[in-house]
Amino acid sequence: MEADIDRVLISRQQIAQRVRELAEQITGRYRQCPGGLVIVSILSGAIIFLADLIRQLPLPMKIGLVGVSSYPGCNTTSQGPELLRQLRVDIRNRHVLVVDDILDSGRTLRYVLDELRQAGPASLSVCVLLQKPGKFPPDLAPDFVGFDIDDVFVVGYGLDYDDQYRNYPDIAVLKRELYAAADKAKTAGA
Ligand code: 5GP
Ligand code: MG
């Protein structure tokens, strides 16, 4: 795995520190909410962020998961969101916090928020670990953000390329030739 990494963008120590800060902000926001909150997270990229974040939130909560795929297989550009798994927690009149890994074009988040709104939550907020400023419409600006990053395709800490590298502990950029091989195969019609 190490041999495939070009550079580390955000170290595991920086992530851990920022997750602590986000947890404090979120706790401050929801502490007074009777009945706590429902956290809705988006599979699969958010799994590690979700696991680290929720263990630092001393609040009553339910966890719901939705499955959305935007970058199937060897894609590094969004192919449009596709719902793979529906939410199985009732969010009517509940305070809902959506937790996702990264906000890029915003198509995935827009799609998920539209679905959730139809279920009548009491409130709907968003927390993302990473965002790429300038790539998504301003009305999608999340309530809680870990880091701004440049417009590069990143892996690690839950984020994948072709379902690999999710277990890499830092957020990193892969060597260019790894994507180049996949892009070439696609151009050739593979
Ligand atoms: P969007 O719909 O905002 O373009 O993309 C949202 C989803 O696509 C993210 O939740 C994430 O799963 C995936 N994604 C977006 N940018 C990246 C990236 O740089 N690296 C990886 N591994 N996934 C990304
Ligand atoms: Mg995602």
In 31-88, alpha helices (H): 47-54
Cβ-based neighbour number of residue 82 at 10 Å: 12
Name the one residue in this structure whose structure tokens are 């990143």.
154
* Binding site membership of 123 for ligand 1 (Cβ less than 6 Å): no
* Binding site membership of 103 for ligand 1 (Cβ less than 6 Å): yes
At residue 147, φ and ψ (nearest 5 deg) are -140, 145
Q: Whose C-alpha lies nearest to ligand 1, atom 15?
A: 104
Q: Which helix (H) or strand (E) holds 155?
A: strand 154-155
Nearest ligand to the C-alpha atom of residue 149: 1
pLDDT tens track of the chain, all 190 residues?
899 999 999 999 999 999 999 999 999 999 998 888 999 999 989 999 999 999 999 999 999 999 987 766 667 666 678 888 889 999 999 999 999 999 999 999 999 999 999 999 999 999 999 999 999 999 999 999 999 999 999 999 999 998 999 999 999 999 988 877 666 555 554 4
Tell me the one-letter amino acid at 61.
M
* Binding site membership of 66 for ligand 1 (Cβ less than 6 Å): no
Find the Cα–Cα–Cα–Cα dihedral 105, 186, 2, 52, rounded to 10°. Answer: 30
Is the preceding omega at residue 41 within 30 degrees of 0, hence cis?
Answer: no
